[in-house]
Structure 1
Amino acid sequence: MTETLAPGHSSLALGVPPATPGTIYALAIAGGIVFGPREGRTILFGRNRPEVHVCIGEDDRRVSRQHGLLTHQKNQWWVSNTGRLPIRLPNSRLLFTNEEPIPLVEGYTPLFVGGSGGREHLLELYVTGSDVQTPTSRHLDPTHPPKTWRLDPTERLALVVLGQRYLLHEARPQPLSWTQAANQLAHLQPDANWTAKKVEHLVVKVRARLSKDGVAGLTREEMDEPVGNSLNHNLIRELLTSTTLVPPDLRLLNHPDD
């Protein structure tokens, strides 16, 4: 099984269609590919579009022309680094050049390659798992999608900035401070008059809206002192687990008007 994924394809964090167990989906902003499992099969990713299966960081010379490999061996997919910069996996695990390959777990895995000017290039991976049926399975029932929350473009940009460490899958992430978020937003939108108070007002408004709709942990009355970053942490976790925000939203840090 081999097929291509077009640019603009939905994030793999939202799931993939049914496929043979061990099928791998690989997706970057420029598109991607789907390969079935086969011993020795290799997928190349990097900057040089003519020489790789999945192009990542095409306009960024910090990304190597062939930056990494996905290889199917012993009934499992593995990721290797063949580029100059490390590849970051979830929980801030770094994979360096010529290190031993790391096995991919079933389900969704985002990989990040750092680029020039603080850019982060995302490669989304999804390995399909075994669909073991039992007598009580409900495999023909319709899937209940997560409830996503409505965000207007300004709210989405501000929350991506505030919660970027979570979208980057850093270990033990925390929200940016109001001042940090306002400074980055002012850089992205110089004419929008961003201030720490403006960011705070916007985020508090979103928290109140979701709290009214039943999301817990978004108001001071629910939390023990000291509250600290707990309210914003809980908000960002809700936006991620509901797939309202997904890693491809990080593109707004480079293209805020998308």
Structure 2
Amino acid sequence: MVSKITLLPKDVGSLSRGLPPGDVPPQPETLFVLGANGGMSVAPDAGFTLVFGRNEPEVHVCVGGGDRHVSRRQGMLTRQYARWMLTNTGKRPIRFPDSRLVHGGDQAFLPAGYTPLFVVSPRQDHLLEVRISAARTGGAAGGPTVQEESTLGEERDLDDEEMLVLVCLAQRYLQGDPQPQPLTWAQVAYELKRLQPARSWTEKRAAHIVAGVRQKLSRDGVQGLMARDVPPPVGNALNHNLITDLLVTATIEKKDLRLLEE
């Protein structure tokens, strides 16, 4: 008999790459949740409330451990009206990848597929990965099958030049800065000139490459990458949202900092 509630080990890998490996396919609309120290899967008919927050002994999935701005019990995930519901029970807002905020006491339904949630803190945003396996669809002669939807969690397709510029722009995030911001265009141009002195790197050229990536991903359905998606003042929000997407989809990783080595 397959358990309706299963623990996920810390080394299971990002949910952005798909469902965790298993001997038996999960029940449709099973909830998978992953924090920094592991996570849990919950079948839709388990009648179980999953609690997450910074105090690991009191919650099922730890997020923001060590950051006292995150509530000990920050939120919970429950099955309501045949859908998975997020309830923010803490003081800090929880941000969806499209920049929508769920404030304390508020609720929001979760879509099928992969959704990176961020507990917003003055120090940094803390990632809570959520994936809901797709509902059953009509199959061929073999009967119903489970299909994984195309989601925001798929690794992005970047060419070598785009990869270099974006790793340079996002290096403070990759270096683990507690309050990271994208580099300025002047800083990016300076770094690229240092790495490739024979090429004509300028602020305008770097900005044009990044704008092209934002436009490409926006056409593919990624939210928060164009000025129309973000309330003013825009500031660094567009590049911050782009970098966040590249991080949660594992398109860029800490190991990519080697691209900036001479």
TM-score (norm 2): 0.61
The counterpart of 1:158, out of the listed 145, 157, 168, is 168
The answer to whether the Cα contact below 8 Å between 2:30 and 2:42 also exists between their aligned partners in 1 is: yes
Q: CA deviation at 1:44?
A: 0.3
Q: In the alignment, which of 52, 60, 66 is matched to residue 67 of structure 2?
A: 60
Deviation at 1:2, TM superposition (A): 1.7
Does residue 1:112 correspond to 2:90, yes or no? no
For 2:196 and 2:73, the matched residues in 1 are separated by 40
Contact 2:63–2:128 (8 Å) recurs in 1: yes
Alignment CA distance shift 1:125-1:147 (3 Å): closer
Aligned position for 1:198: 191
- Shift in CA distance, 150/227, structure 1 to aligned 2, threshold 3 Å: closer
Question: What is the identity, as a one-letter code, of the residue corresponding to 1:79?
Answer: L
Give per-residue Cα distances to partners, 1:30-51, cap 9 Å, x unaligned: 2111111126421000001011
Distance 1:237 1:55, change over 3 A: farther
Which of 86-95 and 226-235 deviates more? Answer: 226-235
- Secondary structure of the 2:11 match is coil
Most deviating of 196-205 and 67-76: 196-205
| TM-superposition CA deviations, 1:96-133 (whole Å, max 9, x none) | 1112x21111101111012243x110001001112313
Structure 2: segments with no counterpart, 5+ residues: 147-153, 175-181, 199-203, 221-244
- Choose from 30, 34, 42 the match for 1:27: 34
Distance 2:32 2:38 in 1: 11
1:233 to 211, 216, 239: 211
Counterpart for residue 3 of structure 1: 6
Identity %: 32
Aligned length: 201
- Structure 1 segment 168-187 matched on structure 2, within 5 A: 177-179=184-186, 182=187
- 1:148 offset after TM fit, Å? 6.4
Residue type of the alignment partner of 1:104: L
Sort the Cα spacing of 1:132 and 1:43 in 2 relative to 1 into closer, same or farther, 3 A.
Answer: same
Instruction: Give how far 1:177 is off.
Output: 3.8
SS in 2 for 1:105: coil
Q: Distance in 2 between matches of 1:92 and 1:204?
A: 38
Q: Which runs of 5+ in 1 are unaligned?
A: 165-174, 183-194, 206-225
Distance change in 2, residues 1:135/1:113 (3 Å): same
Q: Distance in 1 between matches of 2:9 and 2:215?
A: 29
Q: Does the C-alpha gap of structure 1 residues 82 and 134 become closer, same or farther in structure 2, counting only changes over 3 Å?
A: same
Alignment CA distance shift 1:73-1:239 (3 Å): closer
CA RMSD, 1 decimal? 4.3
> Could you say which residue in structure 2 is the equivalent of 1:247?
248
